[in-house]
Protein backbone atom coordinates (compact mmCIF):
# COMPACT_ATOMS: atom_id res chain seq x y z
CA UNK A 1 0.00 0.00 0.00
CA UNK A 2 2.86 2.36 0.78
CA UNK A 3 4.30 2.01 -2.71
CA UNK A 4 1.02 3.22 -4.20
CA UNK A 5 1.00 6.31 -2.03
CA UNK A 6 4.69 6.93 -2.77
CA UNK A 7 4.09 6.65 -6.52
CA UNK A 8 1.13 9.04 -6.23
CA UNK A 9 3.39 11.66 -4.64
CA UNK A 10 6.24 11.01 -7.11
CA UNK A 11 3.85 11.70 -9.97
CA UNK A 12 3.58 15.35 -8.87
CA UNK A 13 7.22 15.88 -7.83
CA UNK A 14 8.20 17.36 -11.21
CA UNK A 15 9.17 21.05 -11.44
CA UNK A 16 8.62 21.97 -7.80
CA UNK A 17 5.07 20.76 -7.42
CA UNK A 18 5.72 19.14 -4.04
CA UNK A 19 3.37 21.51 -2.22
CA UNK A 20 0.58 20.74 -4.66
CA UNK A 21 1.18 17.02 -4.31
CA UNK A 22 1.03 17.24 -0.53
CA UNK A 23 -2.17 19.27 -0.67
CA UNK A 24 -3.71 16.88 -3.17
CA UNK A 25 -2.69 13.87 -1.09
CA UNK A 26 -4.19 15.35 2.07
CA UNK A 27 -7.37 16.28 0.19
CA UNK A 28 -7.69 12.73 -1.13
CA UNK A 29 -7.11 11.24 2.33
CA UNK A 30 -9.57 13.66 3.91
CA UNK A 31 -12.22 12.87 1.29
CA UNK A 32 -11.64 9.15 1.74
CA UNK A 33 -11.88 9.44 5.53
CA UNK A 34 -15.06 11.50 5.40
CA UNK A 35 -16.70 9.17 2.91
CA UNK A 36 -15.78 6.11 4.98
CA UNK A 37 -17.15 7.77 8.10
CA UNK A 38 -20.38 8.55 6.26
CA UNK A 39 -20.56 4.93 5.07
CA UNK A 40 -20.13 3.62 8.62
CA UNK A 41 -22.71 6.01 10.05
CA UNK A 42 -25.17 5.15 7.31
CA UNK A 43 -24.70 1.43 7.93
CA UNK A 44 -25.17 1.95 11.66
CA UNK A 45 -28.34 4.01 11.17
CA UNK A 46 -30.07 1.64 8.74
CA UNK A 47 -29.29 -1.77 10.23
CA UNK A 48 -30.82 -3.61 13.15
CA UNK A 49 -28.80 -6.85 13.26
CA UNK A 50 -25.04 -7.43 13.32
CA UNK A 51 -24.97 -9.35 10.02
CA UNK A 52 -27.04 -6.65 8.38
CA UNK A 53 -24.68 -3.97 9.72
CA UNK A 54 -21.61 -5.64 8.21
CA UNK A 55 -23.34 -6.13 4.86
CA UNK A 56 -24.40 -2.49 4.81
CA UNK A 57 -20.90 -1.45 5.83
CA UNK A 58 -19.29 -3.49 3.04
CA UNK A 59 -21.65 -2.19 0.37
CA UNK A 60 -21.51 1.41 1.58
CA UNK A 61 -17.71 1.29 1.76
CA UNK A 62 -17.50 -0.09 -1.78
CA UNK A 63 -19.77 2.69 -2.98
CA UNK A 64 -17.70 5.29 -1.13
CA UNK A 65 -14.44 3.99 -2.59
CA UNK A 66 -15.97 4.05 -6.06
CA UNK A 67 -17.02 7.65 -5.52
CA UNK A 68 -13.54 8.75 -4.44
CA UNK A 69 -11.90 6.84 -7.32
CA UNK A 70 -14.32 8.42 -9.79
CA UNK A 71 -13.50 11.85 -8.36
CA UNK A 72 -9.76 11.27 -8.72
CA UNK A 73 -10.05 9.86 -12.26
CA UNK A 74 -12.33 12.69 -13.36
CA UNK A 75 -9.74 15.28 -12.30
CA UNK A 76 -7.14 13.64 -14.54
CA UNK A 77 -9.36 13.41 -17.62
CA UNK A 78 -10.85 16.90 -17.29
CA UNK A 79 -8.02 18.75 -19.04
CA UNK A 80 -7.66 16.43 -22.06
CA UNK A 81 -11.41 16.29 -22.49
CA UNK A 82 -11.77 20.06 -22.40
CA UNK A 83 -8.94 20.40 -24.94
CA UNK A 84 -10.61 17.94 -27.30
CA UNK A 85 -13.93 19.73 -26.86
CA UNK A 86 -12.25 23.05 -27.63
CA UNK A 87 -10.63 21.62 -30.76
CA UNK A 88 -14.03 20.64 -32.11
CA UNK A 89 -15.07 24.28 -32.21
- The model's pLDDT over 35-74, given as tens digits with 9 standing for 90+, comes to 888 888 888 888 778 778 888 888 888 888 888 888 777 7
> What total of structural domains would you count in the chain?
1
Check residue 21 and give its pLDDT.
66
More confidently predicted of 30 and 18: 30
CA distance 22 to 61: 25
**Domain of 39, in residue numbers:** 2-88
Q: What is the mean pLDDT of the chain?
A: 77
Check residue 20 and give its pLDDT.
67
User: What is the torsional sign of CA 44, 48, 53, 55?
Assistant: negative
CA distance 12 to 5: 12
Model confidence at 13, pLDDT cuts 50, 70, 90, reads low
CA distance 36 to 64: 6
Check residue 14 and give its pLDDT.
59
Amino acid sequence: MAIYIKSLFQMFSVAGLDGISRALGWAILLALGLVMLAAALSAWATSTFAKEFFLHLIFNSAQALGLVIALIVSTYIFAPTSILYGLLF
